[in-house]
Amino acid sequence: MPTRRFPISVAGVIAAALVNIPTALAQAPVGYYASVDPSTPATLRQSVHAVIKDHLRFPYTAATTDTWDILELADQDVNNSAHIVDLYKNQSILKQGGGNSFYNREHSWPNSFGFPNDGATNSPYTDCHALFLSDSGYNSSRGNNVYRGCLSGCSEKVTVLTNGQGGGSGLYPGNSNWRAGSGATGSWETWQRRRGDVARALLYLDVRYEGGLSGSGNAEPDLILTDDEALIAASNTGNNEAVAYMGMRSVLLQWHLDDPVDERERGRDNVVFRFQANRNPFIDHPEWVECVFNNACSVGTAFCFGDGSGTGCPCGNNSAVGAQEGCLNSLGTGGKLTAMGRASLTSDTVVLAGTRMPNGGVLYFQGTTQASLAFGDGLLCVTGSVVRLGTRFNVLSASQYPDPVDTRISVQGGVTATGTREYQAWYRDAATFCTPSTFNLTNGWRITWGA
């Protein structure tokens, strides 16, 4: 076969991938989400629920390990291990232990809406993924107001400057919380650097609690997010309910976009996981929110397949027609690239997901032009102005880019205006398979970016 020449931009990108391929940036133990099926909203919700249900329940208050112990670790000041930082006031406070007058425990989903009576079988009451330490006065001020923006006549609850965040007052929304009214018709607007945290806590509850019986045979409520004030108000009965509502759903989905996952939230998730043995999936996979709650399980379209329908694979290693994957690799499968999330320049949650690849280094890259050129053991589908997005290490034949703490794809790729970009993943493969090149590629994936 004659030697092909490729654009120097592509060659440079590939050469850079040969050095310093990192180990996996795992957010959860390997295989924790292996059974998750993101193909439809229903299968994603059901399979995620199956992973995170039946967590270890700790008592609300006890002489043994309880929620106080867990939360004082989860909400610990990252710069002072003797302090906590509370949710709403953002104040660093010396750890006091349970029953103090400085801070208490905030149910982000008010327990009055569906699960007010604590007991050994009431799991949402003590679920630390949705419990936060809060300044006692601010917690009282919030009450059981629903989460939503300030419409009019709101009073300001300022934050304190701590660790470079918060502080200031008098300008809406600024770094302040804002409240008005009460209950289902009232409002509590969480300040800008923690509103995503409470949003993802409630999104977690919506999927974690689907009704029915727990693994130990205890009845669990079906917790549902809604924009219907009447349904929310009807959940406040003073009794534990089989079905309960909280909101506002549309506001929480927007807050999820406005305040992306940060290192503090990720660390908090890890602490709660150490105790409860379950994770908040929307911290590990923010892109799943679009699928579960907005019915958008894929963003973009696949192109450039290794099935022989276009350019043939280098060694006749064509994949199955209709599989929409790259040329076959040493596993006997074609590497497959898909994407989930929201392709918005102002609220980018897109994640590229590569599967069916051998364990080893993989490079995710972006280009401006579609192609179909034999390259290594596969097809080069992306050329033009090429940008190296990032490298990963395939584990269990899969990886993704970016992780929640990484720079968003639109920023890393320098996408500053609406339009289309092309994506592909290059990965290492066995030297004894096909050509001596030791690498292969997935199919291509096109994404149209909006404002």
Burial degree of 180 (CB within 10 A; 0-12, 13-18, 19+): middle
* Residues forming beta bridges with residue 372, ordered by sequence position: none
Instruction: Copy the structure tokens of residue 231.
Output: 């349904």
To the question of pTM greater than 0.85 for the whole model, the response is yes
State how beta strands 243-246 and 222-225 pair: parallel
Q: Give the pLDDT score at 439.
A: 96
Distance of CA 115 to the CA centre of its chain: 26
Indicate the SS3 state at residue 314.
coil
- Give residues with Cβ within 8 angstroms of 81, minimum separation 6: none
Q: Give the pLDDT score at 12.
A: 56
Q: Give the pLDDT score at 108.
A: 98
Q: Give the pLDDT score at 19.
A: 41
CA distances from residue 62 to 67, 124, 278 in whole angstroms, order as listed: 9, 17, 21
Q: Report residue 94: phi and psi, to 5°.
A: -55, 135
Residue type, 111: N
- Give residues with Cβ within 8 angstroms of 313, minimum separation 6: 306, 319, 327, 328, 374, 377, 378, 379
Q: Give the pLDDT score at 287.
A: 94
Low-confidence ranges of the chain (pLDDT < 50): 1-8, 15, 17-26
Q: Give the pLDDT score at 30.
A: 86
Distance, in Å, from the CA atom of 320 to the CA atom of 331, rounded to the nearest integer, reads 14
H or E segment to which residue 411 belongs: helix 409-412
Neighbours of 247 (CB within 10 A): 21
Residue spans per domain, the chain:
8-26+297-449, 42-284
Supply the DSSP symbol for 33: T
Model pLDDT for residues 75-108, shown as the tens digit of each residue: 999 999 999 999 999 999 999 999 999 999 999 9
Q: Give the pLDDT score at 435.
A: 86
Distance, in Å, from the CA atom of 71 to the CA atom of 188, rounded to the nearest integer, reads 22
Checking 4-12 for CB contacts under 8 A at 24+ apart, the result is 4/373, 4/374, 4/375, 6/373, 6/375, 6/380, 6/383, 7/383, 7/384, 7/386, 9/383, 9/384, 9/385, 9/386, 10/367, 10/380, 10/382, 10/383, 10/386, 12/386
Distance, in Å, from the CA atom of 205 to the CA atom of 212, rounded to the nearest integer, reads 14
Task: For residue 148, give the nearest of 217, 209, 229, 93 by alpha carbon.
Answer: 229
Q: Give the pLDDT score at 215.
A: 85
Distance, in Å, from the CA atom of 228 to the CA atom of 219, rounded to the nearest integer, reads 25
Query: Residue for token digits 């269990």?
Result: 396
345, 330 Cβ separation under 8 angstroms: no
Indicate the SS3 state at residue 41.
helix
Indicate the SS3 state at residue 204.
helix
